[in-house]
Amino acid sequence: MRVLETGNHLVALAVRAAGVEVVPAYPITPQTQVIEKVAELIAGGHMDAEYIPVESEHSACAALIAASLTGARAFSATSAHGLAYMHEMVHFAAGIRAPVVMANINRALGPGWNIWCDHQDSISQRDTGWLQIYVASHQEVIDSVIQGFKITENWSVMLPLMVNLDAFVLSHTYTDAEVPEIEEVREFLPPYKPRWKLDPRFPVTHGSVVYPDDFSETRQSMQIGQNNARRVIKEVCRDYAEVFGRWHGDMVEEYLIDDAEIAIVAMGTLASESRVVVDVLRQEGLRVGLFRIRFFRPFPIEEIRSLGERVKSILVIDRNYSYGMEGAVFTELKGALYGFSNVPVRNLIVGLGGRDVSYELIADMTRKAISGELGEITWGDSRITPSHRVTLECLEEFKKLLG
């Protein structure tokens, strides 16, 4: 079915196609039209699922976990502060090994209050045990939701999966995309067959007390699941391409890397923007390639070590910041390269709080990186506006008041 839709509505249509049975959600800001559309589909009789409106994102994630433990295929969506508020339960979902998929619309965390795109919200959930996809196009939104259930429900993985899509750029703009029919998806993704459930015939406790004698192994088991996911992700994405004819990469997506001297590394729609940069700079005779990190968790360690062997330098674009350190992807990429490659790596911080990032800006920074002019960490779009001067004006007034 060819549709002209927003990324938000495409998530909802993919959720229906994936045969999701329960959708708990908190339907108030910063929630998006993902849940609005799901509710509409269910209320109109176009989707056979239970919709559970709850009183907070914390409860939404708790209900999501519980729904999954009853043996249902469960989905929810959130964004920014909603994700932050459910943080405790985000850990819980992974620890309890609930194979759920959640869409997160990537937005900045306040203050300053901001509903525009950056990756701070989901990067802050890095260590929860969830798998994280960052998508770069409307079509990839749909395909990642369907792939997501296939990956998370694989018994060797059994860790929840977050599909991250950039606010506004993907969530609120319209593009035509192909949504597979429910019947087509069912063959690729059969109904969820749980290997455990909340069942009065055999009552067990999920998420019970675990004493120091037993705790560490439950965490090591999560890491084994993450490691297994690397193989499962490759299999699922390959099979998906065979069935549906669409490929967005697996752990990563490469574009003109093989003969590249410098690789731009990015996630989400800034990677789409960087693809334009590659084309532009190649016309200037510069050998630039794009390395899009699609899965941030599990982190594509092997792929990055291979990249380190092939290029002469790397420019990492981060749409987030780990305060007191540097961009999170920059840190992780260098960690993966340690002991394997000494290629210089530079960090470009751009697009925080939804600031528009032009391909011209990335191209300019890439040229500087090639010529060696770019420092280790560059806040690439930093400039002072009249609004920033309000702070100084207020401080002047406070000086009069407070001395």
Residues at the site binding other proteins, with contacts judged by CB under 8 A: 95-97, 155-156, 158, 196, 203-210, 217-218, 220-221, 224-225
Q: Exposure pattern of 89-102 as b/e (b: 16+ CB <10 Å)? A: bbbbbbbbbbbbbb
Q: Which is nearer to other proteins, 204 or 394 (CB)?
A: 204
How many CB atoms lie under 10 A from the CB of residue 351?
29
Element containing residue 316 per DSSP (H, E): strand 313-318
Closest approach, Cβ 76 to other proteins, in A, equals 21
> What distance in Å separates the CA atoms of residue 233 and residue 40, rounded to the nearest whole number?
31
- Closest to other proteins by CB, 4 vs 224, is 224
Q: Least distance (Å) from other proteins to the CB of residue 224? A: 6
Which SS3 state, helix, strand or coil, does residue 285 take? coil
Tokens of 280: 């532009």
Nearer to other proteins, 76 or 154 (CB): 154
Q: Please report how close the Cβ of residue 196 comes to other proteins at its closest, in angstroms.
A: 7
CB atoms within 10 A of CB 168: 18
Nearest residue (CB) to other proteins, 96 versus 348: 96
Residue number with CB closer to other proteins (209 or 401): 209
In angstroms, give the least distance from the CB of 208 to other proteins.
4
Closest contact distance (angstroms) between CB of 155 and other proteins is 8
Between 91 and 310, CB nearer to other proteins? 91
Other residues' Cβ atoms within 10 Å of the Cβ of residue 79: 26
Q: Closest separation between CB of residue 204 and other proteins, Å?
A: 6
Dig out the tokens for 71 from the structure.
């043996």
The 3-state DSSP class for residue 266 equals: strand
Cis ω before 344 (30° cut-off from 0): no
Q: Residue 173, Cβ neighbours under 10 Å: how many?
A: 14
For 282, the token pair is 């190649």
Beta-strand relationship, 288-293 and 262-266: parallel
* Shortest Å distance, C-beta 104 to other proteins: 24
Q: Which is nearer to other proteins, 95 or 380 (CB)?
A: 95
CB of 153 to other proteins, least distance (A): 14
Q: Which of 183, 179, 123, 129 is nearest to 152 (CA)?
A: 129
User: 247 phi and psi, to 5 degrees?
Assistant: -135, 125
In terms of CB distance, is 182 or 210 closer to other proteins?
A: 210
Longest dimension (CA), the chain: 73
